[in-house]
Amino acid sequence: MVFIIPENLHEDLYPLAWMIGTWTGTGRGEYPGIEPFQFAQEVTFNHDGRNFLNYYSRTWLIDDNKDITAPFESETGFWRVREKKILEVVIAQSQGISEGWVGVVEGAKIQMAMDRGYSTPSANIVDEGQRLYGHVEGELFYAYDMAMNGHELQAYMWSSLARKEE
């Protein structure tokens, strides 16, 4: 994996330097009570020299031809690294959910679990969550498992994203 540490990157973020940029691709999702779906995704990680990454992800539902049929979910947040490998993340989602995540950075692999969550009165409550991010064969792999509406923790969404050339 070849990349250049961005100029002015805070040294706490060196373990996440490989993620910086915009990634695009497609994925799949399924969960009890909803029809399986396909989605397009764009994820951006950037920084302004301080000790956190800015994060933004947006998704669209797509058909079998990969044509966008409707907007889906969006989320934004901030990623911090402590002690060179402990990850703290806060994410707000468009469907009225806010979550705190804690994880571990191990090279180009990140595993994290939901620490705490908040849902607006009209949103579904997510009881438990796990996320995995990894650099796999030049792409950003993403998987999100969740427990919601009385269901056990299980796969919800996963995608593989290519780095967008700037």
Can you give the pLDDT of all 166 residues of the chain as single tens digits?
456 788 899 999 999 999 999 999 999 999 999 999 999 999 999 999 999 999 999 999 999 999 999 999 999 999 999 998 999 999 999 999 999 999 999 999 999 999 998 999 999 889 999 999 999 999 999 999 999 989 999 999 999 999 998 6
- Domains assigned to the chain: 11-163 (2.40.128.20)
Report d(CA 76, CA 140) in Å as an integer. Answer: 17
- As given in the structure block, the two tokens for residue 42 are 């764009």
The model's pTM is: 0.92
Report d(CA 64, CA 134) in Å as an integer. Answer: 26
Longest dimension (CA), the chain: 46
- The count of C-alpha atoms lying within 13 angstroms of the C-alpha of 7, restricted to the half-sphere facing its C-beta, is 0
Asked whether 130 and 111 are in contact (CB, 8 A), the reply is: yes
